[in-house]
Each structure stands twice: as C-alpha cells, then as structure tokens.
Amino acid sequence: MWVLIIFIAIWYSSLFCQTFFQHRYAAHQAFTMNKFWERTFYIFTYLTQGSSYLSPRAYAIMHRMHHAYTDTEKDPHSPEYSRNMLQMMARTRQIYSSIYKGEYEVEEQFTRNLPDWPAFDKWAHSTFSRICWILGYTVIFLWLSQSLWCLLLLPFVIVMGPLHGAIINWFAHKYGYTNFKLKNTSQNLFSVDFLMLGESYHNNHHKSPSAINFGKRWHEVDPVYPVIRFLASLRIITLRNDKHKTKNSR
C-alpha cells in the first residue's frame, strides 16, 4: 500500500512540475515569476523528478521545436516518424541530450527568454545524481514492498519525467477527439483529465499553446489551472494574458 501511495505522489508531483514549470512557464511563458521563485521551482522540479530530471531550458527548446515543426521530420517527438513509443522516446532522448550539451544547432527563435541555471543543471543532470536517486528509490521500494509485484513500479518511477511526455506525445497524436481543426494530428486524449493534469487536452493546447487553462469545453477540467490562478493571487507568478488568448510564444 505504501509503495502505491509513494508512486502516486511521485507521479503527480513530477507531472505538476513538468506541466507548470517546464511546459507552461519555460516553454510557453504563459506567466512570469521573479528569479527567487524561478529557482525555487527549479529545486522543487529536481526533488520531484529525481532520476528523470529534465533541464527546463533544454525541455523548453525542444518543446518549442515540437510546436513549430509538428508532425514533420524536424519534430523531436512525432509518432509519424517512429514505429512505436519506445523508438520515439529514444529519438527524443537523443535530441534532448544534444540540445542540453549544446551539440544541436538550435535556431535563435527557440532560445528567447529561457530560464537558465547552468550550475544547478550540471548537478541535477549528472550521472552521479541520477544513480543516487535510483539507489534511493530502490531502497525505499525494497523496504516498503510487501510483495514482488510492487517492484514492477520501480522502472516507471526511474523514468517518470520522460514517461509523462511520451504518453502525451504518442497517444495524444493518435487517439481521442478534436475541438479544433488544425494542420497536425494533435487530439484530446481524455474528455476529463485528472490522470495527466490537463496535459491530455493536446488539441486544445496546439490551438492555444500559451493559454493557462488547457480545457476549452465544460467537461474539460484542467486541475492545474486553479493552482495557477491561486499562485497568481499570491503574486508568486504574474499572468501574461488574463483572457487566455495568447499565441505560440516560441
């Protein structure tokens, strides 16, 4: 039971950081925050993603490329150019790694106004850090597991961050429904999305990339939206567009 609770806690805390900080903030600049809060969320993202930590800067660049080149050969993670989800994840990892290391030629339009904390990323992204997290996860799972089946969750915890991205980038370009007719394969994977914290409203997101509310219809509940409004009310973040009619901020 405890292993399942821990898994669920890591699932949602990691996913929240990805959708709130790496996606909506770093990639699309749907809101702003000062340097103190930016670095606070850097640390929180590291603590929740652990061994699967993704550099917000590299993530943002790659995601902006996805919006600019959706379903083309330049798309870093398109199901159109991969036979299965694992192959897509491998290709995405290669491109992401090249961007992070500065080995990928990135157009200037994708590098504007990015969060950047090189010293922190160097530690959080290091092999040593990832090994420490993996060992920590393993010890906790072995200690709390009451049956061997619980250990089957361990690999998913280790790759949690990329796994969340792969679920959306694979399935939400293949299955679901559309609210908007776009020149790409993006779809809304779930009609009510609590599993992916609103990320599955992918067709809506491609229509309005910088909107703080990914839901458009009455049943499309975006659980992160009220959190964003709450943080804005506390002046931790500042909303760029209160009417949510922003354009792609690449």
DSSP state string for 43-70: HHHHHHHGGG---HHHHHHHHHHHHHST
pLDDT of residue 244: 43
Question: Hey, CA dihedral for 66, 49, 38, 98, is it positive or negative?
Answer: negative
Q: How many domains does the chain have?
A: 1
**Can you name the residues that pair with 239 across neighbouring β-strands?**
31
First to last CA, the chain: 43
**Can you name the residues that pair with 32 across neighbouring β-strands?**
238
d(CA 134, CA 113): 33
d(CA 18, CA 82): 23
pLDDT of residue 147: 82
pLDDT of residue 242: 54
Residue 165: CB atoms within 10 Å: 25
Among 66, 28, 39, 40, smallest CA distance to 213 is for: 28
Compute the average pLDDT of residues 169-183: 97
Is the per-residue pLDDT at 109 higher than 60?
yes
CB-facing half-sphere around the CA of 146: CA atoms within 13 A? 4
Q: Which residue has the tokens 């969750």?
A: 153
Is the per-residue pLDDT at 246 higher than 50?
no
In terms of residue numbers, what domain contains 34?
A: 1-248
Percent of the chain residues past pLDDT 90, beyond the cut: 91
* Average pLDDT of the chain, as a whole number: 94
In tens, the pLDDT along 190-219 reads: 999 999 999 999 999 999 999 999 999 999
- Write the Ramachandran bin of 235: left for phi over 0, alpha for psi from -120 to 50, otherwise beta: left
